[in-house]
């Protein structure tokens, strides 16, 4: 699904990523690496292959768009360093793409660990009239791309049938990306009449008129 915002072109991808064509930049939010291992360590029954799915999804999106830069809009790593950090280190060694992290509330690992493996870390990025943050933020004169919320909507069918789908949540001056990670959870939003909701249904992104 391709959208135009402030004369710039963006592709909303079913992985949850956004590709900014003019800047050759891939935006990804809330990957939450390490979360699966963290919960498994504490006895929560989560399939171990959820770890590899995160990296497979990341590899797929990067290969599909071939960006010059990937910007993670926060919550790249879920908690303290665990076994998945080594996997991320290996992934960094395998890529020549510039990697940037906008720190989120779960990014508690020391910035030195990121810079040592080639990841640039910022609190926000401003470029071409766009404000890139982790938390949703409204700032006059800018369009905000962000994450944190893990937006989703309930789609209702006939009778009492319903399904919850992750979505890109676009307001007048803001777009909140869905969580990219495999095991992250979602938050059901309550959109207003003028908001745009782009749901992810299997391998397709669709604009819906109402929920």
Report the CATH number at residue 92.
Answer: 3.60.21
Distance CA 125, CA 146 (A): 11
Structural domain tally of the chain?
1
Distance CA 159, CA 41 (A): 41
Q: In a 3-state reduction of DSSP, which class is residue 88? A: helix
pTM greater than 0.85: yes
CB atoms under 10 Å from CB of 48, counted, come to: 9
- Which residue stretches of the chain have pLDDT < 50? 38, 42, 45
Token pair, residue 206, equals 């669709």
Q: Are strands 119-122 and 98-102 parallel, antiparallel or unpaired?
A: parallel
pLDDT at 42: 44
pLDDT at 50: 65
DSSP notation for 158-196: STT-EEEEEEEEEETTEEEPPP-SSS---EE----TT-E
Which residue from 47, 176, 30, 38 is spatially nearest to 105, judged by alpha carbons?
A: 30
Burial of 2 (0-12, 13-18, 19+ CB in 10 A): exposed
pLDDT at 65: 98
Q: Which long-range contacts (CB under 8 A, 24 or more apart) does 184-187 make?
A: 184/30, 184/32, 184/35, 184/150, 185/150, 186/150, 186/151, 186/152, 187/149, 187/150, 187/151, 187/152
Alpha-carbon Rg for the chain in angstroms: 17
CB atoms under 10 Å from CB of 97, counted, come to: 14
Distance CA 102, CA 210 (A): 32
Distance CA 76, CA 44 (A): 21
Could you tell me the residue range of the domain that residue 13 belongs to? 2-208
pLDDT at 158: 73
Token pair, residue 146, equals 């962000």
Q: What letter does residue 109 receive in the DSSP assignment? A: S
């Amino acid at each position: 699904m391709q959208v135009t915002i402030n004369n710039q072109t963006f592709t909303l991808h079913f992985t949850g990523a956004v590709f900014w064509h003019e800047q050759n930049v891939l935006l990804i939010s809330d990957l939450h690496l390490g979360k699966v291992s963290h919960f498994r360590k504490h006895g929560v029954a989560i399939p171990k292959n959820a770890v590899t799915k995160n990296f497979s999804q990341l590899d797929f999106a990067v290969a599909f768009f071939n960006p010059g830069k990937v910007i993670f809009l926060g919550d790249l790593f879920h908690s303290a360093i665990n076994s998945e950090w080594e996997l991320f280190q290996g992934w960094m060694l395998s890529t020549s793409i510039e990697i940037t992290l906008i720190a989120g509330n779960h990014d508690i690992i020391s910035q030195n660990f990121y810079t040592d493996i080639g990841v640039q870390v910022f609190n926000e990025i401003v470029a071409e009239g766009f404000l890139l943050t982790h938390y949703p933020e409204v700032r006059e004169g800018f369009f905000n791309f962000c994450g944190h919320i893990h937006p989703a909507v309930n789609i209702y069918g006939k009778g009492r049938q319903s399904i919850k789908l992750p979505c890109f949540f676009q307001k007048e001056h803001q777009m909140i990306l869905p969580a990219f990670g495999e095991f992250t959870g979602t938050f059901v939003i309550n959109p207003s009449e003028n908001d745009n909701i782009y749901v992810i249904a299997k391998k397709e992104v669709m604009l819906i008129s109402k929920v």
